[in-house]
Amino acid sequence: MLKPVKRTKAGKAGGDFAIVASHYNARYVDSMLLAAQVELKRAGAKVQVVRVPGAYEIPVVAAKLTTIHPRPAAIICLGVILRGETTHAAHIGEAVSRALMEIQVTSGVPVIHEVLLLENELQAKERCLDPKHNRGLESAQTALKMARVMNGLESKPF
């Protein structure tokens, strides 16, 4: 069952945040992007948005962002992949997931994976266009939380 995204107190967040968003399936991605931007700005964060052609291109930009000074406190990756008649969507989804995991583990920068592999447009509408379930909002909340966790680890050594 699809759970609604709960509005939380954003709190103040220092630092820079990056969003890498696909142009493909723009109707859905744009809605997630707007929700993420609003949430990050509500927390007082600086936001840089980079648009790429499709989901497959997201990891290379996310990886590059981890090398730029100052590094972002977190990188949010937004995309929508809709299954079709072939296995192409599954291959893209798996490749993107593996790459994003590797980027965050090797760089130490939280990479929030909101590249959705969905069965159909109904699922996309629910998760991207419905304000109660918008995964862009959820991704921004996760990015803010992870930035705080990482900052806490750096400022409080064992």
CATH of the domain at 133: 3.40.50.960
* Res 2: pLDDT: 73
Residue 11 domain-assigned?
no
Residue 157 domain-assigned?
no
Structure-block tokens of residue 150: 């990482």
Residue 152 pLDDT more than 60?
yes
Q: How far is it, in rounded angstroms, from Cα 97 to Cα 6?
A: 25
Average pLDDT score, the chain: 93
The dihedral region occupied by 44, where left means phi > 0, alpha psi between -120 and 50, and beta the remainder, is left
Q: Residue 75 is part of which domain span?
A: 16-151
Q: How far is it, in rounded angstroms, from Cα 112 to Cα 54?
A: 17
* Res 158: pLDDT: 65
Query: Mean pLDDT lowest for which of 7-11, 89-93, 108-112, 153-157?
Result: 7-11
Residue 112 domain-assigned?
yes
Domain count, the chain: 1
- In this predicted model, what pLDDT tens digit does every residue of 39-84 receive, in sequence order? 999 999 999 999 999 999 999 999 999 999 999 999 999 999 999 9
Residue 95 domain-assigned?
yes
Residue 137 pLDDT more than 80?
yes
Active site residue 88: yes
Mean pLDDT of 84-100: 96
* Res 17: pLDDT: 98
* Res 49: pLDDT: 98
Residue 80 domain-assigned?
yes
* Res 10: pLDDT: 56
| Cα end-to-end distance, the chain, whole Å | 40
DSSP 27-47: HHHHHHHHHHHHHHHHTT-EE
Residue 114 pLDDT more than 70?
yes
Residue 143 domain-assigned?
yes
Q: How confident is the model at residue 9 (pLDDT cuts 50, 70, 90)?
A: low
Catalytic residue among 23, 69, 88, 133: 88
Residue 8 domain-assigned?
no
Residue 149 pLDDT more than 80?
yes
Contact at 8 Å (CB) between 35 and 21? no
* pTM (2 d.p.): 0.94
Residue 6 domain-assigned?
no
